[in-house]
Amino acid sequence: MASSDEERKASVLLVDNHAVFAVPLAMALRASGFGPVAAADPEDLSMETVVAQARALDVDIVLLDLHLGGGRVGLPMVAPLIGTGAKVVLFTAGTDPLLIACALRAGAEAVIDKAMPFHKLVATLVEVAGGRPLMAPDEREALMEALERSESGEQARSLPFRRLTDREAGVLRRLIQGHSPKEIAHSDGISVSTVRGHIQRVFAKLDVSSQREALAMARAADWPGDH
């Protein structure tokens, strides 16, 4: 097994949208024996650019922020970065267990808190470089089971909406946006009675008896989401 000194020579790429954080951290990691250590350009943190940089530098470890600003998240980068041969450790200021489970399922070695003391971060990266697991099997299993339960619940909540026809789904979307049946009828060039017929079929498929219940059910299921 390699010594700690050898393990600390692992190369690291820091992916963070705050240069004031990433640049000093890169310097500190170099001073601790890691190298080479590079920080991705915070002005260009697209998946394509970051993955290309990781591949070009042939890095051993990518320290990836979960939140990259502008609504961007690091989680979708995990698998592509692993595809370059790097090990990925996610950096976050939060401890959402479901988010952690998603990262682990994507292949991340660990998810660590940004508030972690520097010496513990160094120790964590040494463990990663040495190929040692950072999480007990039972802890990992518990997180994955919680994620599966959450996803099963989400699927159950969204299932009734999959029964809607395109027309019925469109009417429900308009109701969620605050349009009245009369406004929907006018914009779609159909009668109000036809719109009300669609609404009644929506209620039947969602097993609700009012527009208020239908809208509450849609909010609970995060429907229509990005669709």
Looking at 61-107, which runs of residues are DSSP E strands? 61-65, 67-69, 72-73, 87-92
The position carrying tokens 């699927």 is: 155
Q: Among 142, 171, 200, which residue terminates a domain?
A: 142
pLDDT at 226: 53
Both 94 and 168 in one domain: the answer is no
Domain hosting 210: range is 163-220
Residue 179 placed within a domain = yes
CATH of the domain at 170: 1.10.10.10
Inter-CA distances, 121 with 112, 128, 134, 165, 169, Å: 8, 11, 12, 52, 49
Residue 185 placed within a domain = yes
CATH of the domain at 118: 3.40.50.2300
| Phi, psi dihedrals of residue 180, rounded to the nearest 5° | -85, 160
Residue 103 placed within a domain = yes
Both 33 and 89 in one domain: the answer is yes
Residue 121 placed within a domain = yes
Both 14 and 116 in one domain: the answer is yes
Contact (CB, 8 A) for 170 and 195? no
- The amino acid that residue 30 corresponds to is R
Both 125 and 44 in one domain: the answer is yes
Give tens-digit pLDDT for 24-52. Answer: 988 999 888 888 899 888 888 888 999 99
The span from the CA of 61 to the CA of 63, in Å, is 6
Both 77 and 117 in one domain: the answer is yes
Both 216 and 121 in one domain: the answer is no
Q: Among 111, 142, 173, which residue terminates a domain?
A: 142
Both 207 and 125 in one domain: the answer is no
Q: How many domains does the chain have?
A: 2
Both 105 and 214 in one domain: the answer is no
Residue 89 placed within a domain = yes
pLDDT at 95: 62
Which stretches in the chain have pLDDT values below 70? 1-8, 71, 94-96, 136, 147, 150-156, 226-227
Both 114 and 20 in one domain: the answer is yes
Inter-CA distances, 169 with 5, 53, 67, 203, Å: 60, 43, 33, 11
Both 118 and 28 in one domain: the answer is yes
pLDDT at 227: 43
The position carrying tokens 């024996």 is: 33
Both 137 and 214 in one domain: the answer is no
